[in-house]
A and B are shown apart, each in its own frame.
Chain A
Amino acid sequence: MLISKKDLLKETGISYGQLYRWKREGLIPEEWFIKQPSFTGQETYFPRTKILNRIKAIQELKDKYSLEELAKILSPEIAERYFTTDDLSIIEEIDKNLIPAFVKGFGKNSFLYIEVLLMIGLSDFKKQFGASLGQLINIVEGLKGYCEKIKSTEYIIVLFDKSDDYYATLYKEQAEVYIDARLNIVHTIHLNELSSRFKIKYRKSFNFRFDDEDYSVQDDKNMNMSYSY
């Protein structure tokens, strides 16, 4: 569902100056400015939920971080580092009991950022649906080959069940995907949303490219993770 630029400004109370400043700073991705023909020429629309959530997040965080820092927090690029099993144990959203299963599923002890996001998503999936360790290992084994190819977090993982097992499909956010209607979709993981929340919460722990920071954030770990970017 789309929202027009005028309605966006009215609904959020932001000015043109703010909107375009945030666009310049990379806080609002270029691809969210969708131009559509209108009888006055062209009108710009945005993906409604995404832009409203993003503006809410910017408004709530802009007093705490500079726009440059916010761009890094909210940007969908992949963090350039590997995570060890010790790192995984710091991440509250990863079920500690599942770490051996993830190690087995991925067949290694250090993980890419995208793989960490998958672990967070699968931990939540297990919590909600009570999937077995074997089923989680199978999902990881099925997806691990693609994790290395992914160069951004703008991907969605859809999980569906069939014959007492779970299967996954992985696709880019903007892509149109048509899944066999007979398959029962049980869970959807938005890597971009997980990434935004993860970066904010663990930015101190994992030093997400905040090169020149001289500010202190005391309550990172306690930050309320209610945002949905």
Chain B
Amino acid sequence: MYGNLWVLGERFISGKYRRIMAAGGLKIEDSNILKLYSAGEIDIKNSTIKKLRAAGEIKGTNVNLGNVSIAGDIKLTGEVKADVLVACGDLTAEYLSCKVLRNFAKRSSKNNRWVRSGSIAGDGNRTVGEFSGFFKAETFENFKDTVIDFEYEFVNIISKCRLTSLNAIKCERLFSFSQICADEVNADYVYIKPHSTSKISMLAGSEIIISEEFKSIKLFKSLPKSVDFTYYKDILSLPSSIMSVETIEADKIFVEKLKANLISGAEIVIGDLCIIDKVEYSQSIKISPKAVVNEVIKI
């Protein structure tokens, strides 16, 4: 293995390197690099990079990546694998498989408005962080307002900003700490912090919780993530408001601050500030005195 490399200007690189610091355009082929820090465009083919921090446009073909953070547009062709990929720019991928995929940089909730706008100062019409292609990840961390119109297979979705989908959102575990709008959400476990601008037609799964209070800390901590739980504490402390869901169907349901037409399940708890037209339960039901339920049926 070669040692460290400092690169200025255009350069072609091939081989094994411990660390590369580059400013300028890089072409990397058939390489194995432990750490790469770069400012400028990079074109990577058939290579492995364990740690990549880059500002500038990245093109990759058949690349194996470890921990990656890129401020700039990314275009990936062929099969690309990554451990953790943080994309702060547009991401286009033919087939990207990650352990953790995040669509924006960490920012505190105090500055969240900037992230939610999704625009760059001076270029107000252009939204950054658009995904297109196919993405597979154990955990997708949504750190900017996102409309899902790309193909995906996510086991876990953690959403810190507005998440919108015209179709069904499907995953195993969904944690939504901000607004969420979808025709259908189908997940084994769902936690949603209620927000008045959230709207879901059909919410289905095994266990569904809509609550201001977040109690699933143990499960949440066990998920693969690029940032730990403490980072989410500030958004969890923000006030919540009554959200709307047309229908909820699940085995275990706990809801607060919810307006719904129908809730159907086995074990149901209707908490404070709920207005529910009809509740169907098969095993148990608890209704808060601070909730309004029009009809309750044992099925």
Residues B242-269 near A (CB distance < 8 A): 246-247, 249-251, 261-262, 264-266
Answer whether residue B205 sits at the interface, using C-beta atoms and an 8 A cutoff. yes
Tell me the bound Cα distance from A10 to B282 in angstroms. 10
Note all chain A residues with C-beta closer than 8 A to B156. none
B278 in contact with A17 (CB, 8 Å): no
Give the residue name and chain of the B residue nearest to A5 (CB): B249
Main secondary structure on A side of the interface with B: helix
- The closest CB in chain B to the CB of A20 belongs to B204
Name the B residues within 8 Å of A24 (CB-CB).
170, 186-187
The answer to the question of B277 belonging to the interface, with a C-beta cut-off of 8 Å to chain A, is: yes
- Is there contact, CB below 8 Å, between A41 and B247? yes
Q: Whole-angstrom distance from the CB of B174 to the nearest CB of chain A?
A: 12
Indicate whether A17 sits within 8 Å of B206 (C-beta atoms), given known contacts A40-B261, A40-B262, A41-B247.
yes
Which residue in chain A gives the minimum CB-CB distance to B172? A24
Q: B188 and A16: CB pair below 8 A? A: no
CA A40 to CA B277, docked complex, whole Å: 8
Q: Write out, one digit per residue, whether chain B residues 198-215 have a CB within 8 A of any chain A CB (1) or not (0).
A: 000000111100000000
B1 in contact (CB, < 8 A): no
Contacting residue for A16 out of B205, B246, B277, B278, CB 8 A: B205
Q: Is the Cβ of A21 less than 8 Å from the Cβ of B206?
A: yes
> How far apart are A106's CB and chain B's nearest CB, in angstroms?
36
Q: Mark B106-146, 1 if CB is under 8 A from A, else 0.
A: 00000000000000000000000000000000000000000
Q: Known: A40-B277, A41-B246. Is A16-B264 also a contact (CB below 8 A)?
A: yes
Instruction: Place the interface of chain A in its size category.
Output: 10 to 19
Say if the beta carbon of A209 comes within 8 Å of chain B. no
Contacts of B206 in A (CB 8 A): 15-17, 20-21
B-chain residues with CB within 8 Å of residue A6 when the two chains form the complex: 264, 280, 299
CB A13 to nearest CB in B, in angstroms, measures 11
CB < 8 Å: which of B246, B249, B266, B278 contacts A20? Answer: B249
* Interface positions of A from 1 to 52, Cβ below 8 Å from B: 5-6, 10, 15-17, 20-21, 23-24, 40-42
A15 contacts across to B, CB distance below 8 A: 206, 251, 266
- The binding surface of chain B is classed by DSSP as strand
Contact check, B266 vs A23: say whether CB atoms are below 8 A apart.
no
- By a CB distance below 8 angstroms, the chain A residues around B205 are 16-17, 20
Q: Give the nearest-CB partner of B252 in chain A.
A: A17
Task: Give the shortest distance, in Å, between A34 (CB) and chain B (any CB).
Answer: 14
Q: Interface centre among B187, B207, B249, B250, by most A CB within 10 Å?
A: B249
Which chain B residue lies CB-closest to A30? B168
User: How far is A16 from B207 in the complex, measured between Cα atoms in Å?
Assistant: 10
B276 CB to closest chain A CB (Å) equals 11
Give Cα A41–Cα B205 distance, bound, in whole angstroms.
20
Contact residues in B for A23 (Cβ distance below 8 Å) = 186
Instruction: Pick the most buried of A10, A20, A21, A24: most chain B CB atoms within 10 A of its CB.
Output: A20
Cα(A41)–Cα(B260), bound, Å: 11
How many Å from the CB of A68 to the closest CB on chain B? 11
In the complex formed, the residue of A with least CB distance to B250 is A16
Which of these, B188, B262, B299, contacts A17 with CB under 8 Å?
B188
B299 and A40 form a contact (CB under 8 A): no
Give B165 Cβ to nearest chain A Cβ, in Å: 14
Whose C-beta in chain B lies nearest to the C-beta of A17?
Answer: B206
Given A40-B278, A41-B246, A16 and B262 contact (CB-CB distance below 8 Å): no
CB neighbours (8 Å) of B266 from chain A are 15-16
- B188 contact set on A, CB distance < 8 A: 17, 21
**Which of A15, A17, A41 counts the most B-chain CB atoms under 10 A from its CB?**
A17
Q: Which residues of B contact A40 (CB under 8 A)?
A: 261-262, 277-278
Which residues 55-80 of A have a CB within 8 angstroms of B?
Answer: none
CB distance from B89 to the nearest CB of A (A): 31
Q: Mark B213-248, 1 if CB is under 8 A from A, else 0.
A: 000000000000000000000000000000000110
| Chain B residues with CB below 8 A from A17, complex form | 188, 205-207, 250-251
Please, which residues of chain A bring their CB within 8 A of the CB of B261?
Answer: 40-41
Q: How far is the CA of A21 from the CA of B251 in the complex (A)?
A: 12
* Residue pair B186, A42 in contact (C-beta under 8 Å): no
Q: How distant is B265 from chain A, measured CB to nearest CB, in Å?
A: 6
Residues of B within 8 A of A16 (CB): 204-206, 249-251, 264-266
CB proximity of A36 to chain B, nearest CB, Å: 13
Of the A-B pairs whose beta carbons lie under 8 Å apart in the complex, a sample of 9, sorted by A's number, is A6-B299, A10-B299, A16-B266, A17-B188, A17-B205, A21-B188, A24-B187, A40-B261, A42-B247
Given contacts A16-B264, A20-B186, A41-B261, 7 further A-B contacts (CB under 8 A): A5-B249, A6-B280, A16-B251, A17-B250, A40-B262, A40-B278, A41-B262
